[in-house]
Chains A and B, each alone.
Chain A
Amino acid sequence: MREYIRYFRWLFLCIAVLALVLIGIEGGHASRAKARYYERTNEACRTDQRVFDYADVLSTEEEKELEELIAKRERQVQCDIVLVTLEESLKEYAREKEPSVSYDQFVRVYAEAFYEENGFGYNQPNGDGVLLVDNWYREDDGRIYTWLCTTGIVKDAYSDEDVDHILDRVYRDIEKDPYRAYQTYINDFYDDMLGSRMFHADVPRALPLIIGIIAAVIFIPLNWKSRSGSNTTTAKTYVSGGKEQFVNKQDLFIRKSVVKRHIETSSGNSSGGGSSSGGGGGGSHGGGGHSR
């Protein structure tokens, strides 16, 4: 056992240091949250409910747990956190409000109206907060749309890239485990609001395991070698005086041949591509959407 611990001491130490760093960062978030804490000042909000599971994708127990988690996180980030799940076409509703609105914006229209009608906002009605609308209904274009509506300080804090990232993370689990996906939305929002949002790579959940397997696959053959002792003699090891004698050594030139080859020159074309990105929403709300 001692041998085993000694062998892996650096890896264990590395794990311990990283775990401490993670605890330290989380601790930093918690103390920052404590330092900026103030009581909710929005008295005009029409409801205390935060989870509206109209699509019925969550159990009662899950809804309750999400409500509790939201209550805790709201106090820490001083923002309202709202979740709405739907399973209905928003085409008529959205086009009534904005006649030329496109399919991907239906959820935006709904989210902004829902936020405003309920008077959400931690500091004031239509104030600081975030709302996720996940509409499970497949619209005419065959897609399911989700929208993250940001308001107040959240609108200022969240760039298009940040919105994309959090929705990517939510979408990672949404089909298999909606409860876990919505938990990710709440917790990531907390980390985003208290952290610097430096890292935005959408890392597959299995990546650490894949890295571990690759490391083990390299480690085992690398340490498998069991043979010791290689040939350490040379051609001259047993030659008397260490030197052979060449009593005849001739290199006689016979002939020469030259081959010519024409080198083809070619000119190449290059092409480039472009990328575009877009965001949505105007007025007092920000945010962005995803579809699946």
Chain B
Amino acid sequence: MIFKCRNCGGNTVYEPGRRKMYCPHCESLDSEDIVREGSVCVCGNCGAPLTLNQYTSASKCGHCGSYIVFQERVEGAYEPNLILPFKISKDVAVELLHKEFNKKTFLPSSFLSEKSLEGLEGIYVPFWLYDYQTEYDFVGEGTRVRSWRSGDTEYIETSYYEVIRKMEADFDKVPADASLAMNDGEMDLMEPYAYQELEGFDAKYMSGFFGEVYNQSAQELEERAKVKVKNASEALMQQSLNGYDSVKPRAKNINMNRKRAHYALMPVWMYLYQYRGKTWRFHVNGQTGKVVGATPVSKEKVFAYGFSVLACISVISSLAIAILEVL
């Protein structure tokens, strides 16, 4: 499907800054009409053939530049339960990248060039959001140690306790990305999203962006969510044991019952930077603006800047010593 402006026939897109559908041709707002033409093989606007991978749910026609949402990939089994619309526009994402990386001394000069940043694209990444009910039973031996001195004798008193805990916690929407193309570690670092802005799925939010359907089922990815829930439960239990100098666990048991898995699309700006034959990936959370990625290091800059520091500090030291000597 394509969203077209009823005033001028141009391709309308979702504009994060305005939080409305926007026609870049006639600047109309909320003037979209849905045109259900085309397929995953051809552009519904110009009829040009499209080359897509099996997971693409929204893309851009390389011929006419229209943003297309593929209906058969956003309905039925592929219809997301939830979508978090982009809140950060491309310009803001570029600004955030500048702010984050501008002060990195050894960054290649072309990294933040306008030309390189043109390739920044907004993508709706498929996620499974899991709800869990957990029960954590813990029994252990805790010790508290105190010491004092009397004359030339030091006393060390150790008190032993039986520590019993039963913790219950409901975890809501623990995320795990369902895109094989995205690095799991990078996607985990994108968290957290502000879930209060999640909305029921509406395909119009995808116009202007790329998108994917889930690449893996909720069943397949559950283990990742379980690890997160388990780690969080352990950390919460640990917090309840503060006050002991040491705790030796004797028995612990975590029960995790999955209540539900939501299929959701989350907004991510992706920047691919080519440097010396290697692709460097950077992600900006399309809602919170959090930036994730590791930058390449320019060896020329390391050498030039390192040598300059050496030279400048040596000259400054020489001058300072010379001044003190002639004073």
Contact = CB atoms under 8 A, between A and B. Distances in A.
Interface of A: 3-4, 7-8, 11-12, 14-15, 18-19, 21-22, 25-26, 29, 188, 191, 195-199, 201, 203, 207-209, 211-213, 215-216, 219-220, 223-224, 226-241, 244-263, 265
A226 B296 CA distance: 7
Given A248-B165, A259-B155, A262-B154, 18 more contacts: A7-B305, A201-B324, A213-B310, A216-B307, A216-B309, A216-B310, A220-B306, A223-B106, A230-B189, A232-B290, A233-B192, A246-B167, A246-B240, A247-B166, A251-B142, A251-B161, A253-B161, A262-B153
A247 B104 CA distance: 49
Given A240-B169, A248-B166, A258 B156 contact: yes
Nearest to B132: A238
Interface residues of B, number: 82
Contacts of A191: 325-326
B164 interface: yes
A7 B326 contact: no
A257 B152 contact: no
B254 to A, nearest CB: 12
**Dominant secondary structure at the A interface:** mixed
B236 interface: yes
Nearest to B151: A263
Interface of B: 100-101, 104-107, 109, 141-142, 149, 152-174, 186, 188-192, 228-229, 231-233, 235-236, 239-240, 283, 290-297, 302, 304-327
Given A207-B321, A215-B313, A248-B164, A239 B232 contact: yes
21 contacts: A14-B312, A25-B323, A195-B327, A212-B310, A212-B313, A213-B310, A215-B309, A220-B302, A227-B294, A238-B171, A238-B173, A239-B170, A246-B167, A248-B165, A251-B162, A254-B141, A254-B160, A254-B161, A256-B157, A258-B155, A260-B156
A223 B105 contact: yes
Contacts of B174: 238
Given A3-B109, A229-B189, A258-B156, A235 B293 contact: no
B312 A208 contact: no
A263 B310 contact: no
A11 B192 contact: no
B161 A219 contact: no
A233 B163 CA distance: 28
Contacts of A216: 306-307, 309-310, 313
A229 B165 contact: no
A261 B152 CA distance: 8
A249 B34 CA distance: 58
B149 A263 contact: yes
A188 B327 CA distance: 11
Given A238-B173, A265-B152, A244 B327 contact: no
B325 A226 contact: no
Contacts of A234: 235
Given A208-B314, A249-B165, A250-B164, A25 B326 contact: yes
Contacts of A4: 304-305, 308
B233 to A, nearest CB: 8
Pick from A231, A233, A253 the residue with the most CB of B within 10 Å: A233
Nearest to A198: B327
A233 B313 contact: no
Contact of B310 (A201, A203, A215, A235): A215
A77 B53 CA distance: 88
A15 B165 contact: no
Contacts of B157: 256-259
B314 A211 contact: yes
Contacts of B228: 238
